[in-house]
Copies of this chain bind each other. A is one copy, B any other.
Amino acid sequence: MARATGCNLETIRYYEKIGIMPDPPRNTKGYRSYDDAHVRRLKFVMRSRDLGFTLEEVRGLLGLVDEQSRTCAEVQVIAEDHLTDVRAKIADLKRIERVLSDTVARCTGDAAPECAVIDALLEA
């Protein structure tokens, strides 16, 4: 399954340990054997993680997928909360980018011991 999905082997077992993935059936030698349902579930997890959902959020989404009674409205709440988080992180990083690039732009980049970056960090 690691090869089929590109997911790290250890990560799959980690997901199993924390209950994100179900305990798979084992063959006589104790080797795990996975089927299509496992692969689909893992891909779901990987896509969710890739979109920045935490494992707890993924757990919530999986719970909604598992029970047939889930509603679009429930999923929407989780996704919109997450979207708000993502937008806040972008705003933060943009502020950092602005400050950094302004400061670096004042760097002469020469061998002098004066540096605008250090000065900015040292300023009260």
Are A43 and B107 in contact, CB atoms less than 8 angstroms apart? no
- The distance from the CB of A97 to the nearest CB of chain B, in whole angstroms, is 5
Across the interface, which residues of B come within 8 angstroms of A18, CB to CB?
none
Q: C-beta contact mask, A84-124 vs B, less than 8 Å → 1, else 0?
A: 00110110011011011101100111111111111011101
Report B-chain residues with C-beta under 8 Å of the C-beta of A109. Answer: 72-73, 76
Q: Does A44 lie at the interface of the complex (its beta carbon under 8 Å from any beta carbon of B)?
A: yes
Q: Are A87 and B97 in contact (CB under 8 A)?
A: yes
- Can you show 18 pairs from A to B with CB atoms below 8 A apart? A47-B121, A51-B100, A68-B113, A69-B113, A70-B113, A70-B115, A71-B112, A73-B111, A76-B107, A76-B109, A79-B103, A79-B104, A86-B93, A86-B96, A86-B97, A89-B93, A90-B90, A90-B94
Question: Chain A residues in contact with chain B, CB under 8 A?
Answer: 40, 43-44, 47-48, 50-52, 61, 64-65, 68-73, 75-76, 79-80, 82-83, 86-87, 89-90, 93-94, 96-97, 99-101, 103-104, 107-118, 120-122, 124
